[in-house]
Structure 1
Amino acid sequence: MPMITRAAVCRVPGEPLTLERLVLRDPLPDEVLVEIRATGLCHSDLLQIDGSNAPFPFPVVPGHEGAGVVVACGSAVTSVAPGDHVVPLSIPECGECAACCGGKTNLCEHFYASMGRAESPFSLDGETIAAYASLGTFANHVVVKEMNVARIPREVPFDLACTVGCCVATGVGAVLYTAQVETGSVVVVLGLGGVGLNVVQGARMVGASRIIGVDTNPERAEAAHRFGATDFIDPRGLEGDLVSVICEMTGGGADYSFECVGNTRLGGQALEMVHPGGGVAVIVGMPPQGENLPIPPESLFLGRSLMGSFLGNVKTRSQLPLLLQDYLEGRLDLASLVSHRLPLPRINDGFELMRRGESLRTVVTFPAPD
């Protein structure tokens, strides 16, 4: 029997989200019904909402960084059960395809098959309401494939657990799994939002010798140092250009750089600020649609490498829960990451905090059922 659930819906690009009651269909045999208890606000959601990078049609329920409780399972589901605490996943892990069985990528073949084409379980008055990333965690309930949920430890609060669904996995994973940063490396992190700060703490976790955080918001300096940065640079106050300053600080270039803003010009600079003969630049931030990286070929000919990272190359069902184990054992700081907690009716205030650069991570919480 279809249920009614409350959701924040973006009907028109650039307009505030509206709270609506949507019809949510029953789970199919290979699907799971999850009650969302908390969901983080991500810059990727903002790009969809503003229309600058909108892979899903409008109207849409944004949100892809959630945590909650399994309510019901389809008849073919075996790996989770009602009552389990889970994180819904924007990238599935089927465990059977070449990508899932290999060690090169986390991009399960089912991810490509469902991108922008999966049938949404949400509707209103006969109109389909799209689910961002096939999730739509700005709704109190979601229906997702079994391969799109990861069971997580019950000890982790939902408002912290949800962050591993995107910003923590993306940032820490880019260090651990994409770049595979070595102990003693010199790392530059461009952009110190939720993702960038997790790149910083990922670099700290692997024992980087120097971690240089770069951001135009000077208020990010304290957070950067708390997460493990050894240096902070506000590029607006530099006498020379950023690349020259980084190369001088590092004696010819960093070992690794991570672009976490989604700025294509900065992505080109990320490559220039790593040293020739082995320096690695990683593009983590999502730029607006249609923009291209300005990459001089000679930078690559000199032995630098440029890599892309999607959700930190983390295999979502098998590796993502390990990040929460890192939290439980004190290696990963999630509590300091969540700077604001808001109820669903104030979700637009959360995006205004993001636009003004006043939040690290804002989490929207749903009340537990009576």
Structure 2
Amino acid sequence: MIGSHSHVPCLCSVVESVGEHVEEFAAGDAVVPTFLGQCSECVDCSSPRSNMCSRYRFAVRPGMPRDGATRFSDAQGRPIHHFLGVSSFAEYTVVDVNHSVKVNPAMPPALACLLSCGASTGKKFGVTHFINPKELGEKPVSQAIVEMTDGGADYCFECIGLAALMSDAFLSSREGWGKTIILGVEMHGAPLSIPSREILHGKSVIGSMFGGVKPKQDIPIIADKYLNKELELDKFITHEVGFKDINKAFDLLQQGKSLRCTIWMDK
């Protein structure tokens, strides 16, 4: 286990201490906790075709991934649940070693936190896993993602989480080789319905968790790309607030007035 002092509750931390048998991390390491684990040993972690660890499967559970127990309690001794195994809206948290990624300490904490989900999942990095380099020729990935050909788009990405938009994305894809990648979590739990005959026209649909990113393998690469000025992240952060104003951050989100809001625990 890793005890971490969270500078940014959006998943960027500094290791405060490590538990028994932890060799991958040490006190003082800059880490990004992630909701998706990577044991690096199971068949899925060992395959380039999957980022869904089969030893510690993703699940919305109240406790830690190994034993299901919690590491937190309130003043009355009642257990406090772990949110997605990360529970980062706290000054200190406990995270399983398989859900932690070491990053270059030169990475600014306010930007490193983006790598735990949004920036990694989106078209800046994660979704490009679904594009075959042979299909690109000499075109840059950014062009291929938005390119339209006769009869539809080569690639369609649904990022909002609405079944109707998922269906629209599929119908907008090109016959023959159009690909639709579902990144959004359907907010109402509605099923996806698409015409079966459209599938026969050579279109395909695939779901994505975390944009296909393998946390321990890919997040350090993304961080280095930022530090090498190959990737722009700064404009994702539109607001910053202290923890006492956390409700303001949610208001900005619900009103559609922010992209990402950094919440500082010590302000």
Normalising by structure 1, what TM-score? 0.66
CA distance in 1, matches of 2:145, 2:208: 22
Q: Per-residue deviation at 1:277? A: 0.7
**Partner AA of 1:177 in structure 2:** H
* 1:289-313 CA-partner distances (Å, limit 9, x unpaired): 5311121111111110101110011
Q: Helix, strand or coil for the counterpart of 2:110?
A: helix
Partner in structure 1 of residue 95 of structure 2: 144
Match for residue 35 of structure 2 among 90, 98, 104: 90
Q: Helix, strand or coil for the counterpart of 1:101?
A: coil
The 1:256/1:300 distance shift into structure 2, 3 A limit, reads: same
Q: Per-residue deviation at 1:78? A: 0.4
Match for residue 67 of structure 1 among 1, 8, 12: 12
Hey, which bits of structure 1, 4+ residues long, moved more than 6 A?
Answer: none
Match for residue 343 of structure 1 among 239, 242, 263: 242
* 1:182-234 CA-partner distances (Å, limit 9, x unpaired): 53699xxxxxxxxxxxxxxxxx6x3425737xxxxxxxxxxxxxxxxxxxxxx
Gaps in structure 2 of 5+ consecutive residues: 63-67
Partner in structure 1 of residue 128 of structure 2: 176
Q: Helix, strand or coil for the counterpart of 1:336?
A: helix
The 1:345/1:326 distance shift into structure 2, 3 A limit, reads: same
CA distance in 1, matches of 2:127, 2:82: 29
Normalising by structure 2, what TM-score? 0.90
| Aligned 1:94-173 pairs, distance under 5 A | 94-112=39-57, 115-116=60-61, 118-124=68-74, 125-171=76-122, 172-173=124-125
The 1:104/1:356 distance shift into structure 2, 3 A limit, reads: same
CA distance in 2, matches of 1:87, 1:256: 30
Partner in structure 2 of residue 196 of structure 1: none
- Tell whether the 8 Å contact from 2:144 to 2:154 is kept in structure 1 after alignment: no
**Partner AA of 2:191 in structure 1:** N
- Tell whether the 8 Å contact from 1:183 to 1:207 is kept in structure 2 after alignment: no
Q: Helix, strand or coil for the counterpart of 2:130?
A: helix
Partner in structure 1 of residue 6 of structure 2: 36
- Tell whether the 8 Å contact from 1:33 to 1:144 is kept in structure 2 after alignment: yes
Identity of counterpart residues, as a percentage?
Answer: 30
CA distance in 1, matches of 2:201, 2:172: 13
Q: Per-residue deviation at 1:275? A: 0.3
Gaps in structure 1 of 5+ consecutive residues: 1-30, 41-65, 187-203, 213-248
Partner in structure 2 of residue 292 of structure 1: 191
Partner in structure 1 of residue 65 of structure 2: none
The 1:270/1:114 distance shift into structure 2, 3 A limit, reads: closer
CA distance in 2, matches of 1:114, 1:280: 27
**Partner AA of 1:183 in structure 2:** L
